[in-house]
Amino acid sequence: MSMPVLEMSKPGGRHGRADGSKRAGAGGRRRDRRAAGLPAPLIPPSPHTPVLAAEVVELLDPRPGQVVVDCTFGWGGHTRLLAERLGEDGTLVAIDRDPLSEQRFHELSGELPCHMRFIRCAYDEALGQLEDEGLQADAVLFDLGTSSMQLDTRERGFSYSYDAPLDMRMDPGSEPSARTLLAEIDERRLAGILREYGEERYAPAIARAIVRRREVAPLRSTQELVETICQAIPAPARFAAGHPAKRSFQAIRIAVNDELGQLDRALPLAWGLLRSGGVLAAIAFHSLEDRRVKRFLAERARGCICPPDLPVCACGREAEAALLSRRAIAPSAQEIAANPRASSAHLRAARKLRSGDPR
Ligand SMILES: C[S@@+](CC[C@H](N)C(=O)[O-])C[C@H]1O[C@@H](n2cnc3c(N)ncnc32)[C@H](O)[C@@H]1O
């Protein structure tokens, strides 16, 4: 499949921090922020506020002349902060499957000092292309899930809060849409998706209600889906834990966009692109994503796997990564107050070890 690829060189531009703000004081809910030596977050105003922005910049620590790959460009909040540090000789490769992100890239790239390139397709495919080209990166970032721009664009159908066509595709040219998925999927498989990706207690009842409703007429709008979900949930439980359709919408969105499959395929590709000394960082908003990132990085950070009673190592296995914080880094209470969508974020990062690095 061919991919639209934009490439342009930047003969100069702005340098320094994007928002010019000072670092705010520490405090609030956080895990391992202090242990990782990280500052309080920077929160620049934008249609999508980049989550854990200061922490990402600190961990990836981009330097002039380096190559950074942002696998989830979105509105370009993280890209901007990273690219501003790369100078005229650096390169930032931005990936996103959303055409609106491509438009945003055109606006933003002229303001940034480094070589800027955009690849519009799923990140597993884009990373495969970069591998074929022999690109080597100093830093790779994943900021998973949907952008505020996607959630707040009513007609994209991501939100249970607005009536809109049932779509939920990050790439409107991909298949299936939520409408197609819900029209075709087998009831048991749908219940599995709702339970696994949405942790929805009433998954079987909701799946049954969706299948019954589509026997009368296909579900076309988010409002029809919300109604069907609400009717399937017992009245006392309907408003027990947030909006009753929240978990199902999340699950259907994850399935429509194959978000977990994408991540499973992309992590090894991203790791493969990194030079020795390079850093991979990922922000996850869902426990299933975070678990995948955690396991992937932990596996690379694991050295000898010989039984503990063996006097000398027989496996010869050496760690190829150093974790940059023992636990996931979470946003501070201050960041969550300013941007409630940051509340479930978990940032993990690891450095690829050079031969001879202490293990
Ligand atoms: C949370 S937003 C990123 C926001 C961005 N870091 C910023 O500061 O503006 C996630 C973005 O990743 C994109 N995305 C998610 N999964 C993707 C995939 N598998 N391939 C390409 N893009 C993806 C979405 O379209 C969305 O724009």
Q: Which structural domains are found in the chain, ordered by start?
A: 5-149+259-305+314-352 (3.40.50.150), 175-256 (1.10.150.170)
Q: Is the pLDDT of residue 35 over 80?
A: no
Instruction: Look at ligand 1, atom 14, and give the residue with the nearest C-alpha.
Output: 72
Task: Specify the pLDDT at position 359.
Answer: 62
Residue 336's closest CA among 27, 91, 18, 73? 27
Per-residue pLDDT of 186-225, as tens digits, reads 999 999 999 999 999 999 999 999 999 999 999 999 999 9
Sort strands 346-352 and 274-284 into parallel, antiparallel or unpaired.
antiparallel
Instruction: Look at ligand 1, atom 1, and give the residue with the nearest C-alpha.
Output: 147
N- to C-terminal Cα separation, the chain: 41
Instruction: Write out the E strands in 50-114.
Output: 67-70, 91-95
CA 254 / ligand 1 centre spacing (Å):
13
Residue to substitute in 167, 170, 254 for testing ligand 1 pocket (most ligand atoms within 8 angstroms of CB) = 170
Asked if 267 contacts 296 with a C-beta cutoff of 8 angstroms, the reply is yes
CA 322 / ligand 1 centre spacing (Å):
26
Q: Is the pLDDT of residue 32 over 60?
A: no
Q: Is the pLDDT of residue 22 over 50?
A: no
Instruction: Look at ligand 1, atom 20, and give the residue with the nearest C-alpha.
Output: 122
Per-residue pLDDT of 265-319, as tens digits, reads 999 999 999 999 999 999 999 999 999 999 999 999 998 888 888 888 898 888 9
